[in-house]
Amino acid sequence: MVEVLNLTKQFNSILAVDRVTFSCFPGEIFGLLGPNGAGKTTTLRMLSTALRPTSGTAKVAGYDIVREPEMVRRNIGVLPADPGLYGRLTAAENLRYFGRLYDMEGGTIDRRIADVLEMLNLLEDKDRRTEGFSKGMKQKVAIARAILHDPPVLFFDEPTAGLDVMSARAVHEFIARCRDMGKTIILSTHSMDEAQKLCDRIAIIARGSIRAIGTLDDLRSVSRESSLEEAFVKLAGDHGHEL
Amino acid sequence: MSSKHILTVWQKEMLDTIRDRRTLLAMVIVPLLLMPAITVGFPVLMERQEEAARRLVSGIAVIGGTNSSILIGELKDSKGIRLIEYADLKIALQAMKENHVQLVVEIPEGFDRDMASGLRPKVNVYYEGTRRTSDIARGRFMDAFSRFSQKVVAKRLVGMHVDPAILVPAEVISENIASEEKMGGLLLSMMLPVLMAIWASIGGMYTAIDVAAGEKERGTLESLIITPPSRESIVLGKFLAVLTISGVTMLLVVSSIVLALRLVNPASLLGQNEARFVLPIGRAAVMFLIGLLLAGLLGAIEITLSIFAKSFKEAQNYITPLYIAVMIPGFLTQITSAAGATAGPFYFAIPVANAIEIFRELLMGSVNWIHIGVAAISSFVYALLALNIAIRIFCREDVIFRS
């Protein structure tokens, strides 16, 4: 469960995120849909405690992001906007490092690595250095890293940006499976297709503030447009709608 | 802060850095090859150069040789001097410029006659101050000239029925009491301390760049800082990895110096058995500890700069001037010690310069525990301060997400 209340971030004179409020429930994929620079990444960075909010707060898995950041970090898995790997380490070594940082036990780590890489069809490559991996494979290792410690809450920031169709499809299937396992998932994207395909509810975000929240049908009906794209253009440009 | 997290970060960084060829090159191979070569080779090379210069017979161009048969006679009798008659000063000077002769002597007309009548005729001597061989030629000429003067004066005194011994009222007997070791150490202490300080900064440099700026460049930093460990634990783990690598470098540097001196005595290569350079294990250990503290300070500064930088390249740009900065106190130490200045205890609280001065003292065979204590404690405090700054910078989101 994630409850965001009036979350605000100011960088010098720029208001990057302005009083964002929403909730996301277990077994739900919540989409943050908006153009580049809308404040999606900044919102996710505040929720993952990488950035401190200027005002407002959020509860992630029952913990306050400002007062209990370490507990929040233990309960989230994040695929950041720029998910890099240590190229000189193998896929398994990359994952083992993070397992230890999450205080997992040695035997548990190895079992989890095998399970997660199996799920992502990457088990065969586990002992290869990641510097030779394709972008799709790297993304899979980064996803494995995010879910290794089996967190109840997952944040995916543009999870398929720059991937080919097949890799993107595999990532989508994986995210859907996480929802079926009851995870609370927040996904940021600028792709209408992705939002439409995966998200149970969508928040349209532009210039740091949420313009509309609802299911796909809600958004279409409030905007009186039949396609999400048209609805998005209308709502992102508008001043905001309560649903 | 958790020791388990620090250990985890340290282990990962060690694995990562050991797989990086650049680190191995800077850390192991270069110091292992270079330091013994300099330790043994540098004194030998310097001695050889000096020997060669001394063995060379000094060519002295003489203008107006016929003007003084007495002086020419004395020069001809001197060892290591070869006289060449020149008619023109300009041509002689040109010959010296081209190193055909090492000195030009101009004897004016009527020299012997003027001298006999009590006038004080002048001999002009031209030399090339930048050339060691010219310097030696001048020394040889001056020796011959002084013998010539003594003979002339003695002759005059005898003519006046005075014993020439009156000119020598007393004698000086001087003896060099510096130990052979100290004499040997003097040569080494000119170069090794600065080089050791430079290695203290280079050893862990790539690791420092890799563990902070490298994480930003690869995009791994964000994933790392949203894991449970505190920022302190992460920075400490990374710092310890840098310190380990530069510590290994210091260990290799010191032991390669000790070994090189055990295996080859530079003095014996030159056939001078009296000078023996040794670095006993005890002094080498103190040298290593001081080196490690210096590496700690430099490593913490390097990590701070690396955290601040956006990319590997930017970090390199910030860190490269650091070892030039290390060289400045190094050369300062050389100048002050050459001038014979004795450093007070406060001098040993100056970062970097203190370590270099301790290295120098140890190589010269002196162990001053007050100096070592002040240097060790102050270096430790500076390293802690620098590390504290590194941690603070690592907590700043505008630095972490600088782009």
Residue A36 lies in a domain: yes
In this prediction, residue A242 carries a pLDDT of: 46
Same domain, A166 and A94: no
A14 Cβ contact partners less than 8 Å away, ≥ 6 residues apart:
none
| CA quadruple B330, B336, B340, B346: dihedral sign | negative
Stronger pLDDT, A223 or A30, i.e. the higher one? A30
Nearest to B36 by CA among B257, B255, B254: B257
Closest in A49, A86, A103 to B220, CB measured: A86
Indicate yes or no: CB of B222 within 8 angstroms of CB of A100.
Answer: no
Mean pLDDT of chain B: 86
Query: Which residue shows structure tokens 């405090």?
Result: B381
Among B6, B19, B227, pick the best mutation site for testing chain A contact (most A Cβ within 10 A): B227
Indicate yes or no: CB of A85 within 8 angstroms of CB of B4.
Answer: no
- A36-48 average pLDDT score: 94
The CATH number linked to A5 is: 3.40.50.300
DSSP string, B12-47: HHHHHHHT-HHHHIIIIIHHHHHHHHHHHHHHHHHH
Q: CA-CA distance, B221 to A80, in Å (whole number)?
A: 10
Residue A175 lies in a domain: yes
Q: How many domains are contained in chain A?
A: 2
Q: Does A80 touch chain B (CB under 8 A)?
A: yes
Residue A80 lies in a domain: no
Element (H, E) at B163: none
Please give the interface size between A and B, counted as residue pairs whose CB atoms are below 8 Å apart: 72
Same domain, A179 and A213: yes
Q: Does A111 touch chain B (CB under 8 A)?
A: no
> Which of these ranges, A133-147, A206-220, B251-265, has the smallest mean pLDDT?
B251-265
Same domain, A161 and A47: yes
B5 Cβ contact partners less than 8 Å away, ≥ 6 residues apart:
A101, B228, B229, B230, B233, B234, B237
Chain B residues whose beta carbon lies within 8 Å of the beta carbon of residue A97:
8, 12
Residue A125 lies in a domain: yes
Indicate yes or no: CB of A70 within 8 angstroms of CB of B228.
Answer: yes
Domain with A214 in it? 1-75+152-242
- B131-149 average pLDDT score: 91
- B211: its two tokens: 């563990």
Query: Which residue shows structure tokens 């003594």?
Result: B150
Same domain, A100 and A128: yes
Indicate yes or no: CB of A50 within 8 angstroms of CB of B5.
Answer: no
Percent of chain B exceeding pLDDT 70 equals 92
Q: Does B222 touch chain A (CB under 8 A)?
A: yes
- C-alpha dist (Å) from residue B83 to A225, B52, B57, B60, B86: 109, 20, 10, 5, 10
Same domain, A163 and A234: yes
- B76-101 average pLDDT score: 91
Stronger pLDDT, A100 or B189, i.e. the higher one? A100
Indicate yes or no: CB of B8 within 8 angstroms of CB of A97.
Answer: yes
In this prediction, residue B94 carries a pLDDT of: 92
A46 Cβ contact partners less than 8 Å away, ≥ 6 residues apart:
A7, A9, A17, A52, A53, A58, A65
The distance of A74 to chain B (nearest Cα, Å) reads 6
> Which of these ranges, A11-20, B244-253, B341-350, has the smallest mean pLDDT?
B341-350
Identify the band that residue B270 occupies on the pLDDT scale cut at 50, 70 and 90. low
Indicate yes or no: CB of A88 within 8 angstroms of CB of B16.
Answer: yes
Residue A92 lies in a domain: yes
pLDDT tens-digit profile of A68-90?
999 999 999 999 888 899 999 99
Same domain, A43 and A103: no
Chain B residues whose beta carbon lies within 8 Å of the beta carbon of residue A98:
223, 227
pTM of the model: 0.82
Q: C-alpha angle B388/A102/A122, rounded to 5°? A: 125
Percent of chain B exceeding pLDDT 90 equals 44
Q: Where are the alpha helices (DSSP H) in B56-122?
A: 69-77, 89-97, 111-116
pLDDT tens-digit profile of B297-351?
999 999 999 999 999 999 999 998 887 888 887 777 777 666 555 667 788 888 8
Identify the band that residue B383 occupies on the pLDDT scale cut at 50, 70 and 90. very high
Q: CA-CA distance, B277 to A132, in Å (whole number)?
A: 51
What residues 132-151 of chain A have any CB closer than 8 A to a CB of chain B? 142, 145
In this prediction, residue B185 carries a pLDDT of: 66
Closest in B19, B215, B225 to A50, CB measured: B225
Element (H, E) at A135: helix A135-147
In this prediction, residue B340 carries a pLDDT of: 55
**ipTM rounded to 2 decimals:** 0.93
Stronger pLDDT, B261 or A14, i.e. the higher one? A14
Indicate yes or no: CB of A51 within 8 angstroms of CB of B401.
Answer: yes
Same domain, A106 and A210: no
Q: CA-CA distance, A72 to B227, in Å (whole number)?
A: 9
- The torsion region of residue A207 among left (phi > 0), alpha (psi -120 to 50) and beta comes to left
Same domain, A111 and A191: no
- The torsion region of residue A174 among left (phi > 0), alpha (psi -120 to 50) and beta comes to alpha
Q: Does A188 touch chain B (CB under 8 A)?
A: no
Intra-chain end-to-end CA distance of chain B, in Å: 28
- B161: its two tokens: 């029925």
Intra-chain end-to-end CA distance of chain A, in Å: 21
**Quick check: helix, strand or coil at residue A154?**
strand
Q: CA-CA distance, A24 to B158, in Å (whole number)?
A: 119
Nearest CA in chain A to B17: A88
Domain closes at, from A102, A118, A150:
A150
Residue A98 lies in a domain: yes
**Are β-strands A2-11 and A14-24 bridged in parallel, bridged antiparallel, or unpaired?**
antiparallel
Q: Does A87 touch chain B (CB under 8 A)?
A: yes
